[in-house]
Amino acid sequence: MTKPRVLISDQMDPKAEQIFRERGCDVDVITGQTPEELAKILGQYDGLAIRSSTRLTKELIDVATNLKVVGRAGIGVDNIDIPAASVKGIVVMNTPFGNSITTAEHAIALMFALARQLPEADASTQAGKWEKNRFMGVEVTGKTLGLIGAGNIGSIVASRAIGLKMKVVAFDPFLTPERAVEMGVEKVDLDSLLARADFITLHTPLTDQTRNILSAENIAKCKKGVRIINCARGGLIDEVALKDALDSGQVGGAALDVFAKEPAKESPLFGTPNFISTPHLGASTDEAQVNVAIQVAEQLSDYLVHGGVTNALNMPSLSAEEAPKLKPYMALAEKLGSLVGQLAHDNLTQISIEVEGAAAQLNIKPITGAVLAGFMRRYSDTVNMVNAPYLAKERGLDVREIRHDREGVYHTLVRVSVGTSQGERSVAGTLFGKDQPRLVEIFGIGIEAELEGHMLYIVNEDAPGFIGRLGSLLGESGINIGTFHLGRREAGGEAVLLLSVDQAIPESVLRTACGMPGVKVVRALAF
């Protein structure tokens, strides 16, 4: 049997090459190639292990005729064209947890550097000055650390901060009260965190919901003199607003390891007093580089030799026999998870996945993974069916799987329920024609709809004239309606409207709809 061939195209710890050979792969280490040089040899390999230097573009993917899997030794995959890889059937993996301790420690190091003005004091002293009275720092002991994002890295930062006798408050939609107690932190909303924190550190992915989470408006809500650290993603902070806040004294100091545009050769923040910057060093320790090299080699070799899938960004964990039967169910499950995640995402304590009818005869694990992937994609830029269950567990979500042998109204049914501060909320769906996902119930109200593209969800009091007024609003705003679905509990009671539209709905239209008589909830959805 021919051994799988693997190319390591970026500098990587030698242990990676060793692991590939020990696990039955032939491996070549060829680094520093231009895209043109790489294109000439890439077609020879089944696997590719990279870091950040190699850019796997569509052009390279098109000539990589034998490539089956690419592994990124690290978490960021901006240098891989994942859609192009998916079209070609190439599995894309990363190693999202190998840098956790290193990144957390860098955040703590920057916090200390801000607290004691270490870079400026060092520069002053080495310049021959002795400005002992100029650099008056603050203790971290007894101070409040605001944690935006309490996942893997955030929880490590919290444990270090607690060891430093700091009080930690955390904002994370997925952090349950039980997990907060376990971590020793106080779960708060964002406004409360901003008002109370002496130091703020960010540990959340960059998504549409988290982009500029520290905007000018939110920075203004902070305690005057707050110190801000970001070792997560560029774009979480409005850098121009941060510059203004440093100049005015609203922010007492800021330390960024990441920038909206990298490499950050220029920035409005450069040269600003009380600002510290590092060139994306969160993962730059010997230990972290060894960890990610070992992990990427283990993952790629397991896939190439045994078919095992770990931390894949574009492939579910499925056997070849299960895939055809489960594929339509997974599509349904992901849409239901996404719907729940967009409609009921605050103060979540548990999520239940129930299957009945034909669905109860299948392997529920991939269905659960698909629900969780859809559910958490709103908040994470690297979530997938493989790592979604881990991320849910990490945040303390109680995930329950329930299989019913009973036959219901539908020949097959998948129901997703979440526990919220307002009680349980659930949605349910079935398959039409054995492979067409269809919503059939939302929060206790029967309604049949396809979940596709841009949609508008409205809860209102059932009354004459509402549909006409809403149609007029959308028409006057130039928004074309694709499909229109209605459901209600009873005549004159609470009604649900779910419609698809041809484009994203502007905020101004949502606000106007929210102000219409009888309207209780307005939410734009995207699938």
Residue 88: exposure state from Cβ atoms within 10 A (0-12, 13-18, ≥19): middle
- Which one of 196, 280, 395, 415 is the catalytic residue? 280
Contacts of 154 (CB under 8 A, 6+ apart): 147, 148, 170, 172, 201, 203, 204
- Per the structure block, which two tokens stand in for 159? 């444990």
DSSP letter (8 states) at residue 143: P
| 410-to-64, 105, 302, 423, 485 alpha-carbon distances in Å | 45, 53, 40, 26, 19
Beta bridge partners of 144: 167
Helices in 203-322 by DSSP H: which ranges?
A: 216-220, 239-248, 286-306
- Which of 179, 196, 227, 233 is an active site residue? 233
Q: In what order do the strands lie in the sheet with 436-442?
A: 398-404, 350-357, 412-420, 423-432, 436-442, 445-449
Q: What distances in angstroms separate CA 168 from CA 150, 349, 368, one per listed residue? A: 11, 20, 32
Q: Please report where in the chains the tokens 């006798």 appear, as a residue.
A: 165
Question: Which of 451, 410, 405, 452 has its CA nearest to residue 434?
Answer: 410
DSSP 3-state percent helix, strand, coil across the chain (nearest 5): 35, 25, 40
Query: Does residue 17 carry a catalytic annotation?
Result: no
Please tell me the total number of residues recorded for the chain in this structure. Answer: 527
Distance CA 214, CA 193 (A): 12
**Around 105, how many Cα atoms within 13 Å sit in the side-chain half-sphere?**
10
Contact (CB, 8 A) for 354 and 404: yes
What SS3 state is found at 67?
coil
Alpha-carbon span 364 to 343, nearest angstrom = 24
3-state secondary structure string across 296-311: HHHHHHHHHHHCCCCC
Nearest residue to 232 via CA among 266, 257, 211, 213: 257
Report the candidate in 445, 367, 443 with the shortest Cα–Cα distance to residue 400.
367
Catalytic hit among 182, 262, 287, 407: 262
Q: Would residue 306 show up in a list of annotated catalytic residues for this protein?
A: no
Instruction: Let me know if 233 is a catalytic residue.
Output: yes
Active site residues: 233, 262, 280
